[in-house]
Amino acid sequence: MQKFILFTLVIIFTISCKKNTDTPKQVLITQKVPEIKDGLMTPEALWYFGRIGEFLVSPDKKSILMTVTFYDLDENKGNSEIFIIDASTYEKKQLSFTTKSESNICWKPDGKTFGFLYPDDNDEMQLFEMNTEGKDRKQISKIIGGINGFFYSPDSKNILYTADVAKTQTQTYPDKPKANVRIIDELMYRHWDTWVESYSHVFVAPYSGNITEGIDIMKDEQWESPVRPFAGMEHITWSPDSKSIVYTCRKLKGLQYSKSTNSDLYRYDIGSKKTINLTEGMMGYDMNPVFSNDGSKMAWESMKRDGYEADKHRLFVLDMKSGAKTELLTDFDANAYNITWSDDDKTIYFTTDWFGSQEIFSVGLSENKAKRITEGIHNYSKLRFTGDKLFAFKQSMSKPIEIYQVDIKTGKDKEISFVNSELLAKLKMAKVEKRMIKTTDGQDMLTWIIYPPDFDPAKKYPTLLYCQGGPQGMVGQFWSYRWNFQIMAANGYIIVAPNRRGVTGFGMKWLEQISGDYGGQNIKDYLSAIDAVAKEPFVDPTKLGAVGASYGGYSVFYLAGMHNKRFKAFIAHSGIFNFDAQYLETEELWFPDFDYGGAYWEKNNPVVKRSYAASPHLMSDKWDTPILIMHGEKDYRISYTQSMQAFNAAQILGVPSKLVLFPEENHWITKPQNAIVWQREFFDWLGKYLK
């Protein structure tokens, strides 16, 4: 049995039989933490890290609110609490002490109090408020069914909130109340991990201490804002004069909705109650509107092509008076995320994927030229600009997200949140090295090499090829709670993580090579990376493995049929095995339409012909290497039946194989104990065949 030590964490939980509006009774809890032997990462330690969820700078720029989630492995759940940080001294104080999670923190315009979501006595999410001392906690809304998110209007007279509206049923049978049936007559009937039985609408209500209902500004519409599946309140904003709301929406239905990415920005006028489309005729994703401080302009992220979810995130600015739209940085061959305005509205700051890291850039509206602010081995995100200070999330392969202050002149930063400093001090972190590897077509490919802690170059190590998902997602300096390179290295493996063709951060040509060519150059890139590193004297070329999820899972299935005895073990999570079945099983049809070239029956289309010929199931008769296959049964992007097919093929062919299914998980593994089991299965399999 694994030994445990008691580690006292200053988290206070509320234990009270009274209503949430009462003063909480506070009880100090000690949390069990696994012993960290020899400073090496364990699955349990990975789930002990505090995870920062949100952070906001106060209107007076003097304070920062943040939420932090801590997980209890025994209870198999997490709990989020609110903290406040002094923006000058960086002193941190916990403000909430409850048994259920606070979320969606939002400053009131006066900066003296703030709101947040919290479950009421009926377990429905409602708006609560408290002051910056953590006192005077009170419930503000009593919306039947609860709310999903909210914003105060800048003048404090109104709030907007989002709430679910039931989908209109086309047919019912009231005389058969015990029947349990879904009657479906159009796409998209399920999305990501949820059956579509409701839509999130935007509501507006006068602000008071007892908000019971608001006006549905999307009344009778069968579509949602924020846009499914991952968007949050960044899809919606108030105008600074409080006279209008701008929201993101894809106003399409059925087959059109499943095949199109054409979301637009809609402006709802509070006075006239009229809605206009601000981005009509712009055919890709338009999203994440951000007003300038004076309200004269609005910036947003825009994709050009309908149906291409990985298109370039262009930076657009709308003049609210003239209606003129201007694209900035037309010659900048990279994306613009996390847009934020400087206080004087002359400069826009943003982040982008940039050759293996996520960096902060700026663009002056008068110069219209990208200026790089930061440089290093890190990923920045979620920018908050205050005068001459810029605050941001920062993470790397060696450290989870913390909040940093960034000097906009020098690019230097300093940590201010220190949520995980004590735990990090107990762990030995693996060395992360950037290496350029030549591909078969003579290109330089940035590849990350991660070495075990206490690496000894005189030894020979088993080595893993990490296959990135997406497929259009850069192998940057991310910290994952599942595909964590530090825990892989702590188990004695070298990791090879190439930025193969098809990832962001290296220009659009590098990105788009993969579409319509899944089994082509990017697979060669994988082999170039592992072959180059396998020549090193410290790598045991007889103990190579390949692992990956989603498109990375597809990559593993594909490599299993053509790797020519390179690998001794494979692990695929949520991978695509059968392209024909995948086309009809997935929910967002625009994805295979663009990346495969269309449906499998379009046999005269050369892109379709090439794409479907690269389906792993067509090469499974060549499988000869042990393979572990894992999947979540609530994964509707890549159905778990794909993994069942792959496992069945391996079993029929006599290939050593195991199938691990998680009935309650989606495309990821989100529950703590499931994640621990996932890690154990992962390393048990590798240990059996590579050690």
Catalytic residue numbers read: 550, 635, 667
**Amino acid type, 570:** F
Widest pairwise Cα distance in the chain: 76
Q: What are the φ and ψ backbone dihedral angles of 387, each rounded to 5 degrees? A: 60, -115
Strands 31-34 and 51-57: unpaired
What backbone phi and psi angles, to 5 degrees, belong to 117? -95, 140
The whole-angstrom separation of Cα 41 and Cα 98 is 29
Tokens at residue 462, please? Answer: 């088993």
Residue ranges of alpha helices (H) inside 114-239 are none
User: How far apart are the C-alpha atoms of 129 and 112, rounded to whole Å?
Assistant: 11
* The two three-digit tokens of residue 171, written as one number: 């047919």
Q: How many whole angstroms separate alpha carbon 499 and alpha carbon 651?
A: 32
CA-to-CA separations, 103 to 179, 234, 335, 342, in angstroms, rounded: 37, 14, 29, 26
Helix, strand, coil shares, percent, the chain, to 5: 15, 35, 50
DSSP for 383-444 reads EEEETTEEEEEEEETTEEEEEEEEETTT--EEE---SSHHHHTTSPPPPEEEEEEE-TTS-E
CA distance 97 to 24: 8
C-alpha angle 237-305-247 in degrees, rounded to nearest 5: 15
Q: What is the DSSP letter of 141?
A: B
Residues 6+ apart with CB under 8 A from 130: 95, 96, 113, 114, 116, 136, 137, 138
For residue 603, give the 3-state DSSP assignment.
coil
Residue found by looking up tokens 């058969």 in the block: 176
Q: Is 256 helix (H, G, I), strand (E, B) or coil?
A: helix
DSSP string, 633-690: TT-SSS-HHHHHHHHHHHHHHT--EEEEEETT--SS--SHHHHHHHHHHHHHHHHHHH
Integer Cα distance of 14 and 254 in angstroms = 45
> What distance in Å separates the CA atoms of residue 335 and residue 569, rounded to the nearest whole number?
36
Q: How far is CA 497 from CA 475, 481, 504, 667, in A?
A: 7, 17, 14, 21
For the chain, the residue count is 691
CB under 8 Å to 173, separation ≥6 — which residues?
Answer: 179
CB 297 within 8 A of CB 287: no
**Which residues, 6+ apart, have CB-to-CB distance to 274 below 8 Å?**
268
202 strand-pairing partners? 162
